[in-house]
Every structure is written in C-alpha cells, then in structure tokens.
C-alpha cells in the first residue's frame, strides 16, 4: 500500500529537549516536504527536499532542521524546541514537479506539544 508514515503520532516534550519526527514514504517519490498546521494559519511549509541531499527552506524554517540522506526518509529535527513550535505537523511526498500535475500524499500527522 502506498503511504507516508510519520512517527510519533503524538509527542509531549519539554522546552529545549531535542527531538526528531521521522517520515518515510514507499512510493519512490523525489519530492518531500514538512508542514505545520495551526488554527487560523492553515498549512505552512517548513522545509522541502527535491531529491537526496537537496533541501531548501519553506515559509517557516526557523527552529527546524531536516536531512535527506535516503530517498524514502525525510526526518524533521527540532534541536531546541520551544512552546511556539506546539503544532500539528504533516510530512508529504510527491513525484517531481515541473509543469506536470503531482498529487501530494500526506502522512497522518504528528501532534507535538512543547511545555
């Protein structure tokens, strides 16, 4: 089954304690990205990756890091989480863009609370 898998689904952590949210896709997609979703602000892109070892900032990258060492995995790293990073996070993948339509497939989401 084609899917994007995020872990963990729920996480409560304390300010400053480094954490990693994993994301894995089995569709051999080149393009992966991370979003956060907050009430009234919608989905905002944090980082994206167009292929292995190629990453770039989205709209709200501050406080986050990513890596893309393998095509299937795109972890999101919070080196020193703060309460304003409390949010619902989604990982997404799609085949390479260009001028063709490419559907984005989303993981089930990770609800992060930083206290």
Partner 1 sequence: RKEVEQDPGPFNVPEGATVAFNCTYSNSASQSFFWYRQDCRKEPKLLMSVYSSGNEDGRFTAQLNRASQYISLLIRDSKLSDSATYLCVVNNNNAGNMLTFGGGTRLMVKP
- 85 by DSSP, 3-state: which? helix
Query: Among 34, 64, 74, 90, which residue interacts with partner 1 (rule: CB under 8 A)?
Result: 90
Residue 110's alpha-carbon distances to 91, 97, 101, in angstroms, are 9, 25, 27
Decide: is 7 part of the binding site for partner 1 (CB under 8 A): no
Decide: is 45 part of the binding site for partner 1 (CB under 8 A): yes
Residue 37's beta-bridge partner residues? 43, 88
Q: Total number of residues binding partner 1 (CB under 8 A)?
A: 29
Residues at the site binding partner 1, with contacts judged by CB under 8 A: 31, 33, 35, 40-45, 48, 50, 56, 58, 88, 90, 92, 94, 96-99, 101-104, 106-109
């Amino acid at each position: 089954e084609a899917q994007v898998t995020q872990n963990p689904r729920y996480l409560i952590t304390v300010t400053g304690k480094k954490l990693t949210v994993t994301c894995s896709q089995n569709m051999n997609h080149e393009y992966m990205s991370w979003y956060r979703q907050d009430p009234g602000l919608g989905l905002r892109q944090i980082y994206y990756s167009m292929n292995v070892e190629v990453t770039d900032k989205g709209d709200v990258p501050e406080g986050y890091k990513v890596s893309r060492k393998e095509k299937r995995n795109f972890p999101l790293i919070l080196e020193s989480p703060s309460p304003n990073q409390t949010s619902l996070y989604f990982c997404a993948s799609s085949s390479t863009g260009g001028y063709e339509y490419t559907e984005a497939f989303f993981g089930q989401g990770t609800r992060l609370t930083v206290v």
